[in-house]
Amino acid sequence: MTVPIVSVIMPVYNAQRYVAAAVRSILAQTYRDFEFLIIDDGSTDRSSTILQRYAATDDRIRLIRRDNLGFVATLNELLQMAQGEYIARMDADDIALPDRFALQVAFLQTHPQVVCVGGAQDWIDAAGRILLHHPEAEDNAAIQQLALTGQTPINHPSAMMRRSAMLQVGGYDANFYPAEDLDLWLKLGELGELANLRQTVLCYRQHDRSISERLQTQQTQQRRAACVQAWQRRGITGTFYEAPPWRPVDRRSRHQFVTMYGWWFFNAGNRSGALAYGLKAIRTLPWAIEGWKLFACALLKPFPPQAP
């Protein structure tokens, strides 16, 4: 049996709403030489049924279903299963763009000093509407500096890594969950260079059940701990950057984010998106005037002039 170049690793837990789109986006890659390793980590919804349907139609999928062991344990199990030269991460609620693997494999093959490459993303909401375009720092020096201050410079489900490097650093460290990705970037950055593609490689979904949203405070604490250990390993004195919340942490901040997204839709001329987010804002904080103002403008006002 021929060993594939790429091993795609995707943990799944109760992702029935999004997992079919995630799987289809991997199977639709223009680069075809990959194995698709999926562990259903004890889902209690219809995720397993959906995954079994796809596994029956494509022999590149290797699907395992077992009791719940948790996210990091599942990632490490998938890593041990992998045979490919490169490890491509994928989450069950995101969508990979068709040329993601082709771009990342070509980059790693022409940049042997790079051990991990990510890429830009389009952030989407639960319904798949684009919220914003999110570029990343591209060169190693900038990425390393961001990581050493506690910022996550590579979007985890957009990453492709050399399997040999991942095994050398011991895979994912559960002690740093839910910031195991930053800990990994810091360790990989001590073996080689890190990079991001300028091209968009992923639609990164924002929703209220994501790990990053539910565990944001804990994630910040663990990022700090990962940085402290990295500073000690590298023999440097570092400074941790306490970033403002980039996801909602309570009803008030959720209202602020929802209202912000709604005005983005309105200013972009997307009335249905603006209306949807106006209603979301009202449901979140019915007594707050900002949501009612957004909804009224989305319903009645003409759009602002669009840039040529």
Q: What is the pLDDT of residue 256?
A: 87
HSE value, Cβ hemisphere, 13 Å, CA-based, for 134: 21
SS3 46: coil
215 in any annotated domain: yes
Shared domain for 139 and 266, answered yes or no, is: no
Shared domain for 60 and 182, answered yes or no, is: yes
Domain end residue (candidates: 208, 234, 260): 234
Shared domain for 207 and 278, answered yes or no, is: no
Q: 211 or 51, which is more confident? A: 51
Shared domain for 161 and 56, answered yes or no, is: yes
Q: What is the pLDDT of residue 151?
A: 93
Average pLDDT for 65-87: 98
11 in any annotated domain: yes
Q: What is the mean pLDDT of the chain?
A: 93
142 in any annotated domain: yes
Shared domain for 191 and 290, answered yes or no, is: no
CATH classification of the domain holding 201? 3.90.550.10
Shared domain for 143 and 212, answered yes or no, is: yes
Share of the chain above pLDDT 90, in %: 76
For residue 136, name the pLDDT band (cuts at 50, 70, 90). very high
d(CA 41, CA 52): 14
Give the residue from 247, 250, 245 showing the smallest Cα distance to 285.
250
289 in any annotated domain: yes
List the beta strands (DSSP E) in the chain: 6-12, 34-41, 61-66, 86-89, 95-96, 114-124, 130-134, 160-162, 193-205
Domain total of the chain: 2
Domain end residue (candidates: 234, 268, 291): 234
106 in any annotated domain: yes
18 in any annotated domain: yes
Domain end residue (candidates: 234, 260, 282): 234
Has residue 175 got a pLDDT over 60? yes
Shared domain for 62 and 210, answered yes or no, is: yes
148 in any annotated domain: yes
Contacting residues for 156 by C-beta, under 8 A, at least 6 apart = 89, 91, 181
pTM for this prediction: 0.90
282 in any annotated domain: yes
Expressed as residue numbers, the domain containing 223 is 6-234
